[in-house]
Structure formats: C-alpha cells, structure tokens
A and B are shown apart, each in its own frame.
Chain A
C-alpha cells in the first residue's frame, strides 16, 4: 500500500534559519525571511587564481586557502609569500634560502624543516614564522630534504626524505615546539612524499625510491603501518591536505594533476586540477590550495554551498591598428585609447564599447607616451609628444572632437595620469628632456595648477584613483637602469609613501582603477619581468598578485575606471612588435547556491 509520502509528497520544513547541512535539492520555508528556499547543487572542483610573485617549486607550503604561506624553493631562494585567497604578497625572508623544505603550520605560525642548498648542504636547521619574520628553532636530529611535515608549529612529525648518508630515507622525527626527537621509521624510505593529519595521527603517501610510488603509511603516534596504495603514483611533486582518515592528495600522476580522496580505508579519484601542482596545503579534505611554476595558484573546494568563479583575463576586440605608447581612460566597457608612439597613430583616438573598437576624433596634434584621465566621452590627454617627446600640451575630448586646453606648467612625458573626471585630473612624474621629474599638477577643467612634489622622481609611473585620493606606482629612473616598485599616495595636496609592489617595472600607462583602494598595475617592463604579463592589485594597504594577462607587453594602456570586478588593457609592444591586442578582466565572483524559490 502506498504510504503518505508517496500519495501526498514530502512536507516542506518550517525553519527559522537556513540549514547548515542541507541536501542538494532540499526545499524549506525560512520563517525569518519569509521565503521558500532551495539548496542548489553543491559545487566541487578546482579554480585557478593569481600567480606567485616568484615562480618556483619544491618550496615549503602551509596554511589554508584564505591564509597560505609559501617559502623557499628552487633557486635556493629565501623568499616568502603570503596568500589571502585572492593574491600573493611578500612576507619576510627565510634566514636561510633552500629548497625541498619540509613544512607545516599556518600562515602566522609556520615551520620550515630542513631542506637543501649548496651553502648549507642537507641542512637540519629549522625556522619558525610568526606572520612577519622567521627565527631559528631546534634542529632536526638528521639533516634532510624532500621530506614531509604535518601538524602544527609546536606539534609536528616529519618523515621520509633524502640525504647522502641515508639515501631514500625512512627517518621520522617529532617536534614539540623546541626540540626534535627521533621516532620509529617509515616501513619504506622515500623522498618527495606527501601527507596530512597531525603529529599523532598522520598519513604519508607516494614519494620516490627510486621511481614514483603509490605507497601509503599511517602514523598513530608510535609506529607507521602500511595503508592502501594510492591509485596513481607520484614522485617529488605531490602534496596533500586533511586528516589521516579524510585526506586529499593532489599533484599525483605523470602530469601531476591527478587528485584523490582517502576515507581511512581506500582512495578514490577526484577531479584533476587544470594545471600541474607541486606544493600545497589546505587544512581539510574539502579545501586546499597549491602552486607550481608557471601554472600559478589553484584552489580546490568540495561540496560547497557557494560557487567561486575565479577572476581571469579574456581576449577583447582588437584595436583597429597596432599601437604602443598610447594612454587610456574610461571604464572597461566604455574606454578611450589616445595618442601613440607608433608611426601614423600619434593623432588617433579609439573608442571601445566592451566588444569592438571604433575610431574617435583626431587629437589634432601628435601625442605619445602621454597621461590620460576622464571618461570615454569627456577625456583628457596631457604631456608627451611625437616620438616620445615631452611637452606641456593638454587636450580635451567631448566625445566627438578634441580641443586644446590651457597648457601645463611643467614639461613632461611618460607621466602618470590620474582621475575619472575631465575636470578633476592629476598629472605626476615623467620625463623632462634631460631628467625624470617629481612634479605634480591638478587640472580643474580650465587650468593646470602646481601641487605637491612626489618623494621619488620617476618616469613611466602610472596611477589610479581620483584627484583627491590617488596612488601612483612603478616607473624608472633616467637612464632607464633602475626600475621602481614603490607607490605613493596623494590626498589632494601632498604625496606620502605607500606600500611597494611585488615586481619593480616601468608601468607606462598600465595603471587602472577608479579608486586608490581598487587599483591595478598591469603589464610593463622591468629587469625581472621584460614585456611583462604580470598584474598586481592594491587595496589601499597591500599590493598582491592577480591573474596574469595572456600576452605580456610593455607600453600598452589601461582605462581609468576599473573596479574589483573589471579592468581592461590594450595595445603595447612585445619584443619589437607593436600590438593591437585587448584583454578584459573579470574579477572573482562568489555566488550562494542557496536561493529563494520564486514564481517566474
């Protein structure tokens, strides 16, 4: 006989708040908000976010998706970087640069265990991180590298690894926050293994001896016992997160993209990461983050009630002609590109509607390497000149034609332009025929007036924000031998030092942002990043990395109206070739998949 549910269906629960563990498709009435609610299908998978500041592998890694720490790595670097879920920013350097470092802990309480560099060999030295700097702590009993560590900064177990004395070693040591003690060994020695868990309930898997293995072992605080093999082998470039009975293994397989889940009994395959992963961490089986040069940062999230769509740059409509040394203004869907260093283009302006470019009015005089401000239909171009000259020229646009304004007081080119309004713009820095300058001037729609001087004279700096709250960054000296990473903030009258970008470079016109707290430094050219595809974001306090452009270039242009959700970059020069490329940025979005049921 059919039951009540079969005849009449399930009752809708009457709840005062949304359930924290609703099932996919579950419907309930929220009596507080008065809405009929539904739990959407939970999402699981990988997303790709920002790139590391310094590409490397075999680095130490600890923390969580929203607060990770990466340190050391190939090149025997001492560099430390901190991840906030959006991008990477610089942390304090290790006292001793090395790679193949064991690691555990958190972003504010990290532990670097051993490692190798030519200067220190297979070291037994360990360091603790407090959120800003590293200090030495107790040494390993045996110097070691390519081992794994799990636990916390004050309760750790490190195991496996390699050194000349032991070869592929089975060593296991525990740490109490000050002293390391030898503990019973693994059953099979190997290097480059990964793991998860705590100092008294750990899991170690894979690693090479001499080839990549699928071996898994479990640690109960007193001994290691054999556990089921992973489905795919991994050598020195796999990692993991979670606990002994709920582990996430990633970076496995020949392509180091394979992901597996462990439930305390067996391993099952999960979604591959879109790019290879060499090191990572996460804190749980359902949330992890990893990196590998040059793939950048990849985040894993399983069974989540929110869906994160990572920010990314996509190709936009091509400029009608190749251009370098142009400047820009406006929003990503209503942009103007103006002036150029490219022959035949130095009086052109182009308008972008979010899809394609069309010709705007002629500037009426040749301009290039200028500053820009305003909007697409009320733009301002100033400084620069034909062939990279400097000038006091200033012209404004009404959406149809360009007319001269009163001249600036100071000659400049390769200058920064700040402002989203044609009647409230700022020019700063640049190049006056024989030297870089630190001058700035404000424009009120009619006249240019001298304002405060920057702390650092430079050309090729760019900017974001508005006339009363702006930020300028990057640039170079003259001759262009020194690239700057520092930024300066303007409050409407004076300049003060801001924080430093992660990569020094000539920004040309690559600054975008309607606000100094949502600024972008896009592309450029520097000693460590020629024809760069790097993008950094500034939140008013810290510069951190963002997803890279697909195509690196210098001397391109951005708009002036970017927000945290969108930006644009166009033109530029790659090697010896001027470009017509446009790229459009869409910022990260987070959507809740618990929603109201509505009648459409």
Chain B
C-alpha cells in the first residue's frame, strides 16, 4: 500500500485543514495547490471533502516542477544584487 495519495485542492483559509486533520494524517502542501496526503481513511476523506482532484504522483510532480522551473527562470533573470540576497528556488521532489 502506498504511503501517500496526491491531489490538487485550493487552500480556502480557516478550516481548510484543522489541527485534528494534522493529527489524523500526514499533510504537506506544495506549489500549484498540490497536496501530499497520508494514505489512510481520514486523509482520503479530507481530499474528497475539499473537492480535491486526485493525481498520480507523476502528475502532481509535473505540476510542481513546472512552477519551480518558472520560478528558477525568473530568479535567473534578476539582478546580481537580488541574487546576492535571495537563494535560487530549489527543485522540489515529492515524497
């Protein structure tokens, strides 16, 4: 059984995920509204209740990578002064 399920859901603010949710299943948010969710009953229910769209790991990774590459391109185009005070956006790999 896979440890995680992946999905896209927009963070709607207060109540989107609760402390109880965090205690019941693993939850990590990424770029492009991608969420990595612990694969148990509570995690799957949370994604469904948030009208999330389940993705395969490859699909979720592709969404994140596209955003990271855009951010890296933007950083590359910045001034040397900006680069001296800001780290280049790093690649993100889903667990």
Contact = CB atoms under 8 A, between A and B. Distances in A.
Interface of A: 47-48, 253-257, 272, 274-276, 293-296, 309-310, 312-318, 355-356, 388, 414, 431, 459, 478-480, 506, 525-527, 530-531, 533, 547-548, 550-552, 574-577, 581-582, 586
Contact of A577 (B19, B38, B40, B71): B71
Interface in B15-42: 15-31, 38-40, 42
Contact of A295 (B13, B38, B92): B38
B14 A355 contact: yes
Interface of B: 1, 3, 11-31, 38-40, 42, 67-68, 70-72, 74-75, 82-87, 89-90, 92, 95
Contacts of A312: 19-20, 22-23
- Interface residue SS majority, chain A: loop
30 contacts: A47-B23, A253-B1, A255-B40, A257-B40, A275-B3, A294-B95, A312-B23, A313-B22, A317-B13, A317-B14, A318-B11, A318-B14, A431-B85, A478-B85, A530-B89, A531-B89, A531-B90, A531-B92, A547-B22, A551-B28, A552-B28, A552-B29, A574-B31, A575-B68, A575-B71, A576-B74, A576-B89, A577-B67, A577-B71, A582-B13
- Determine which residue in A293, A480, A576 has the highest number of CB atoms from chain B within 10 A of its CB, and name it: A576
B89 to A, nearest CB: 5
Contacts of A316: 13-14
A551 B22 contact: no
Contact of B89 (A388, A550, A575): A575
A530 B24 CA distance: 26
B85 A388 contact: yes
Nearest to A292: B3
Given A309-B23, A478-B84, A479-B83, 4 more contacts: A315-B13, A315-B17, A480-B86, A576-B71
Given A255-B39, A294-B95, A575-B31, A314 B90 contact: no
B36 to A, nearest CB: 9
B67 to A, nearest CB: 5
A276 B25 CA distance: 10
Contact of B87 (A257, A317, A530, A551): A530
Given A318-B11, A574-B31, A575-B89, A274 B24 contact: yes
Given A254-B1, A551-B11, A576-B74, A314 B87 contact: no
Nearest to A356: B14
Contacts of B28: 294, 533, 548, 550-552
Contacts of A257: 40
